[in-house]
Amino acid sequence: MTHAIQFDQVEKSFGALQVLKGISGYVAAGEVLSIIGSSGCGKSTLLRCLNRLEVIDRGRIVINELEISRSNLSNHELKQVRSRIGMVFQQFNLFPHLSVLENLTLAPQQVLKLSRRDSIDRARYYLQEVGLSDKIDVYPEQLSGGQRQRVAIARSLCMEPQAMLFDEPTSALDPELVGEVLSVMHRLAERGMTMVVVTHEIQFAREAASRVMFLDQGRVMEEGSAREVLTNPQSDRLTAFLSRMRQAQIA
């Protein structure tokens, strides 16, 4: 079986600190994998490795049959990989001096070589998809945090990626804005977008994820269906983590 994303025995260190300690897993096409775990467990580092924003020390990462972890990966191949995988960060990363439309059309024109007209049509379509058609001409500073994150999602979708990576996309948002971003992600999941989501939103993982991977201290402690992992944890560490998440939501 060919997977959209495959990673085997991935190791990554920063100086003397080993962050990833032999992590293996996969994401099938059309599947949503949620990665959960305490801060510092390696979730975001793994996600950045999947897009080669970080170069791994050992192991293997294959994206749509292309091994992106090999040392002789060409710049052309790297651009291909990044054009096929959208990434949404915690902090939006929109260009503040560009309008929403300009943020959305920049990469399609420069990387995909779309015409200005086609890139604008695509931007309008995906802004409508995230419910922000009326914000096309405004600048990021005029938007709420939730709106900025939805623009960031639309910007990634304008590249029409084969998979999307989300790095705790709601962690920088006020609680009342979280729902509007999660609803967009729910719709993407329902439409069969291949997604890897690093999140503390356990309810989203329960409802939208095909599978859940629990990381602890740089290792995969538990992995399986969302229902199996989140309702029947097998380790004390996952039980304690889920309890902390429930208490944080109550608070």
* CB 27, CB 194: distance < 8 Å: yes
Lowest mean pLDDT among 102-106, 117-121, 155-159, 173-177: 173-177
Q: What is the pLDDT of residue 165?
A: 95
**Which residue type does 112 have?**
L
Q: pLDDT > 70: what percent of the chain?
A: 98
- The enclosing domain of 120 has a CATH number of 3.40.50.300
Q: State both tokens at 241.
A: 């983590």
Strand residue runs (E) in 28-153: 32-36, 58-63, 66-67, 85-88
* pLDDT tens readout for residues 24-42: 999 999 999 999 999 889 9
Lowest mean pLDDT among 7-21, 34-48, 69-83, 105-119: 69-83
Q: State both tokens at 46.
A: 């793994």
Q: Give residue 45's region: left, alpha or beta (phi > 0; psi -120 to 50).
A: alpha
Whole-model pTM: value is 0.91
Q: How far apart are CA 151 and CA 129, in angstroms?
A: 10
Res. 65: pLDDT tops 90: no
Res. 1: pLDDT tops 60: no
Q: Which domain holds residue 125?
A: 5-250
The residues that bridge with 6 in the sheet, in sequence order, are: 26, 62
> Domain count of the chain?
1
Give the mean pLDDT of the chain.
92
